[in-house]
Structures are given as C-alpha cells and as structure tokens.
Amino acid sequence: MFFIRLYRFIYKNITEIFGKIYLFANNVEYHRPIFIFGIPIISISKGGMLSIGKNFVMVNSAISNLIGRSQKCSFYVGENAMLKIGDNVGMSATSIVCTKKVSIGNNVRLGGNTVIYDTDFHSLVREERVNEKLDKANVKNAPVIIEDGVFVGAHTTILKGVTIGEDSIVGACSVVTKNIPKNEIWGGNPAKFIRKIN
C-alpha cells in the first residue's frame, strides 16, 4: 500500500509539471492554481484559443480516477474558434471538439468520459458527404454553452447548439440534444426533463 501511494504521489507531481509545460507549449491561457493528473491531448488550429480559469482539475489517467473507460482528456479547437473554461471546473477523460465556440462556466463538474461537440462533423446530406469539399463546406456548427454550477453525469454526450442552464444536472449516459433550463434535472437518450431542483 505504501508503494502504491508513493507511486501515485510521484506520478501526480511529475505529470502536473509536464502538463503545465504542455499547456504553455500549446499557447493555452490558464490561471493558477491548476491541477493536472496525466498529460492531455490538445490541438489548437490557427487563430483558435483555449482559455482555462483558476482551480481547474483535469484527470487524464486511470491511476488518478478509477471511473472506468479511462482515456486522456482531449481538446480540439478549430480555426478562429474559442473554447473557454471557467473557474473551479473539474473533468476526467473528457473530450471537447470546438469548431466555433464552447463556453463552460464556473463551478462546473463534467463526469468521466463526457464529450462535447459544437459540430455535426459531416454534412447530413449523403451526396455532400462523398465530396470532401462539399462535406466540409456544409457542416453545421452551433455554440455550446454550459452555465455556472452545472453537474454533468459520466459518459454523457452534449451536442451542438445546446445551452445547459445554471445549476442544472444531467444524468449519467445522457445525450443532450436541446436546451436545458436552469435548476432542472434531465436524463436519458435523448435527454428529457425529469424534475425541478428545489
């Protein structure tokens, strides 16, 4: 047990140092303190911006969080796109694809393996998908906004054009396809209203 604790301590400190170097090398704007367990995957295109607030916690390995289906957090920010993460945000094994705009407020918790996409990735028209130029030109994108105090359960998918209102909760394994008002609990595939939060 002692050696396991020692290994975790050493792993945490080494990966936190390298994680901060990796953020700096990728021109990520972040505010201290920041806590990184393992090294994420980051891809920022020309003119894109990734901004992270203070007290950010990011888990990128099974040794730091035994939630299952573990992977590294990954962030893709497209050309001239903006991914903004507020203060006191925590996530593990999360993947965010931001082609235009994704905004995550303060005091947000994203459960393990949450994915957020502000794009359809491909055209919804079959004839356009077989032509790379047409496919790329006709992809639909819309901002994703997650407001302050939101809690998203593990293994949830949040799709383009969605706003999740302040202090709302999304149940585990949900697929969020439409806006969720503040102070509500939603869940399912597709996610539906369950009840108000008192």
φ and ψ of 133, to 5 deg = -65, -45
Q: Is 122 a catalytic residue?
A: yes
C-beta pairs of 185-194 under 8 Å, 24+ apart in sequence: 187/153
Residue 169 to residues 127, 152, 187, 189: CA-CA distances in angstroms?
39, 6, 8, 15
Catalytic residue among 69, 122, 136, 178: 122
Active site positions, annotated: 122
